[in-house]
Amino acid sequence: MAAQRRSPHDARRGPQAPGAGSVLRGARQAHRHLPRMPGQGRIREMDGARRHHPPHQPPPSPTRIQLMKTLSLLQPWAGLLVLGIKRFETRSFNTRYRGRLGIHASARMPREGRELLEELGKVNRDFRPGAYKYRVCTTLGHVLGEVEVLETCSTNDPHALRLVSPGERDLGDYSPDRFFWICKNPRIYEHPIPAKGQLGFWNWENHQASRH
């Protein structure tokens, strides 16, 4: 019987004992079933995290604060303006400003304002205590909403005064040498925002207004 040829690879490994291959296979299978050492899986997870870097995320953009030109009024005239009942705002000075204007209710209500609110409540139950419009007209120290200033007119102009109804005249001072601002598109905030008012125009940081 001819002798079995051995490859150079077999020569390098040296002689193998009978059944050596089956012994090695059994050792490998036994190694697979050995219990895993504590922390071994955690090390593999950390290695995987090192290999897979999360994508770069840019930093969040800074919050932009919107400045709104605002005017402080006494109550109930501030509330009547944002409710759309009062359409003209009378002032002793004129302005070139056109656009959205925040309406802030001052921190106090004068006696004339309380008397006006009582008169309105006699003819309209919406201005009686507990009603929605009554609450709007009695909120103090808050920005109530916005209006849009479209145009201004002089009280010395008889043609311009024709725009003012008799009921509107009771809500403002239309004496000579004054001005009335035409305000439209009122927007009232669902939740009035507390703020400190100032004389004349002032810039209000309008970054949390919710509209109704």
Q: Which helix (H) or strand (E) holds 44?
A: helix 40-51
Q: For residue 67, what are the CA distances in angstroms to 13, 64, 74, 208?
A: 85, 10, 22, 11
Tokens 């490859």 — which residue? 7
Specify the pLDDT at position 196: 86
Cβ–Cβ < 8 Å for 102, 76:
no
**How many Å apart are CA 117 and CA 129, to the nearest integer?**
10
Specify the pLDDT at position 51: 56
Cβ–Cβ < 8 Å for 140, 114:
no
Tell me the average confidence (pLDDT) per consecutive run of 10 residues in the chain, 212 residues long: 52 52 56 55 53 59 70 95 96 94 94 95 94 96 95 96 93 96 95 86 68 46
Specify the pLDDT at position 56: 62
Q: b vs e for 26-52, b when ≥16 Cβ sit within 10 Å of the residue's Cβ?
A: eeeeeeeeeeeeeeeeeeeeeeeeeee
Specify the pLDDT at position 5: 55
Specify the pLDDT at position 210: 45
Cβ–Cβ < 8 Å for 100, 146:
yes
156 phi, psi to nearest 5 deg = -85, -5
For the chain, the domains span: 67-205
Tokens 């598109």 — which residue? 185
Strand order in the sheet with 67-73: 88-91, 179-194, 142-154, 99-105, 67-73, 201-205
Class of domain 67-205: mainly beta
- 18-43 tens-digit pLDDT: 555 555 565 556 555 555 555 555 54
